[in-house]
């Protein structure tokens, strides 16, 4: 049996921009993606802390400090909203028991203030 466990989390990422006319996805600062282990085009679950809304999309690498919500999901966030961006992995029980997710807590400029 496999367990779905949290692999990576960007906590309190701030929406820096949005584009309703883009096909979809969320653009995330490439360095943040690298540091927490989110791969380009990987599926991510996003919670908007301001509204409680949730949506799933895929991650695209972006520029420094960039958190850009695209496509229809742009209607679910406003610039300045805090997001929790999570990626998950399927693991065998042995691996899941010892696994610890990579968590980055961000400030209002999407800079890392805590790394776990």
- The gap from C-alpha 10 to its chain's centroid, in whole angstroms, comes to 5
Catalytic residue flag (residue 3) = no
DSSP symbol at 70: E
Catalytic residue among 16, 17, 25, 41: 25
Catalytic residue among 16, 22, 41, 58: 58
Note whether 38 and 87 are within 8 A (CB).
yes
Q: Helix, strand, or coil here: 35?
A: helix
Catalytic residue flag (residue 17) = no
For tokens 């300045």, the residue is: 80
Residues known to be catalytic: 25, 58
């Amino acid at each position: 049996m496999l367990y779905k466990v949290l692999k990576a989390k960007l906590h309190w990422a701030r929406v820096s921009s949005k584009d309703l006319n883009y096909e979809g996805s969320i653009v995330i600062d490439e360095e943040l993606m690298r540091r927490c282990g989110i791969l380009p085009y990987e599926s991510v679950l996003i919670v908007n802390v301001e509204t409680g809304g949730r949506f799933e999309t895929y991650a695209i690498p972006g520029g420094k400090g960039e958190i850009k919500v695209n496509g229809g999901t742009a209607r679910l966030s406003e610039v300045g909203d805090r997001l929790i961006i999570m990626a998950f992995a399927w693991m065998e029980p042995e691996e899941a028991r010892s696994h610890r997710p990579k968590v980055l807590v961000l400030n209002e400029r999407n800079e890392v203030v805590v790394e776990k």
